[in-house]
Amino acid sequence: MDFELRDRQVFVTAGASGIGRAIAIAFAQAGARVHVCDIDAPALRSLAKEFPAISTDVCDVSDRSAVERTVASMHSQLGGLDVLVNNAGIGGETAPLERSDPEVWSKVLEVNLKGTFHVTQLCIPHLRASKSGVILNMSALAGRLGYPNRSAYSTTKWGLAGLTKTLAIELGDSGIRVNAILPGAVNGDRFQNVLKGRASQSGRSIAQETALAMQNMSIKKLVEPEQVAALAMFLASDVASTISGQLFPIDGDTQSIA
Ligand code: NAD
């Protein structure tokens, strides 16, 4: 069994912070060659300062021409592409659908679905040239359960499941595997902000909100970004060479979001 990822060429979107950053660093530490894009230039600079082997580009994945430039730059930096990690995704607003702002709703679709489409379509020719092409789409718990007050987010994360299954069939003949990762509550700024928001609405403490969030989990622990990265590395490795078109929850067996 070969977990070896040395010299694999890996492109991570939205990798300047959070889960994407953990994935980029984990692959780089395993000897892979990593390129990261993000909209946050200062965060990209600090990543590149800490890990000079990781190359970076400022890019909003919902901007087609920016993605065209970034994929060209990624290819010239890495010299090819084996693994694409479609990690970019925004949460949108917290509101019931009937009070949702149509512009914000569209923006979530633009980044989470259309952005993934742009990056994937432009990367496929490079992945076809790889002997071990892999696409990993970052869905979420909200991509297998309903998520009240987050309809746009949940819609896009379920959409990524359809994209994953469809692309796995379309690209299987080229030896490209396509899978999705569905994290639940991941330890980090984003989830802490969700808890703060809930606490300010409910009057409960953050500790109480954390306990409530874990009520419906068999394993009552937050997922660490490094654990999501480890799952991504397993799925990208040749050990997983027969796994495609699948959706992998990593959420302590969460049974409900609400
Ligand atoms: P995050 O909110 O911490 O953001 C990560 C990065 O995305 C940031 O550096 C940000 O600048 C970048 N970004 C935002 N919009 C972008 C765009 N249009 N183009 C390029 N980069 C952009 O995110 P996170 O919590 O690390 O989540 C990463 C992915 O994992 C997302 O798709 C998210 O939906 C998914 N996810 C997160 C959690 C969680 O609890 N954090 C749970 C399930 C799924």
Residue 5 CB partners (closer than 8 Å, separation 6+): 27, 30, 31, 32, 233, 236, 237
Buried b (16+ CB within 10 A) or exposed e, 36-64: bbbbeeebbeebeeebeebbbbebbbbbb
40 in ligand 1 pocket by Cβ < 6 Å? yes
Our CA angle for 143, 173, 69, nearest 5°, is 65
Catalytic residue among 153, 158, 191, 248: 153
| Strands of the 33-38 sheet, one edge to the other | 55-58, 33-38, 9-13, 83-86, 134-138, 177-183, 247-250
Distance 173 CA to ligand 1 centre (A): 31
Distance 54 CA to ligand 1 centre (A): 19
Which token pair is 51? 């890990």
Mean pLDDT confidence for 32-56: 98
15 in ligand 1 pocket by Cβ < 6 Å? no
Distance CA 252, CA 200 (A): 26
CB-based contact 244:168 (threshold 8 Å): yes
- Annotation says 153 is catalytic: yes
Query: Which atom of ligand 1 is the closest one to the Cα of 194?
Result: 40
Is the confidence at residue 258, as pLDDT, over 70?
no
Residue 38, pLDDT score: 99
Is the confidence at residue 101, as pLDDT, over 70?
yes
Residue 96, pLDDT score: 94
Residue 191, pLDDT score: 87
* DSSP 8-state class, residue 111: I
- pLDDT tens digits, 221-250: 999 999 999 999 999 999 999 999 999 999
87 in ligand 1 pocket by Cβ < 6 Å? yes
Q: How confident is the model at residue 184 (pLDDT cuts 50, 70, 90)?
A: very high
Query: Which atom of ligand 1 is the closest one to the Cα of 189?
Result: 3
Residue 155, pLDDT score: 98
Percent of the chain with pLDDT over 70: 99
Distance 89 CA to ligand 1 centre (A): 5
| Sequence-ordered strand ranges (E) for the chain | 9-13, 33-38, 55-58, 83-86, 134-138, 177-183, 247-250
Mean pLDDT confidence for 89-111: 96
143 in ligand 1 pocket by Cβ < 6 Å? no
Residue 1, pLDDT score: 66
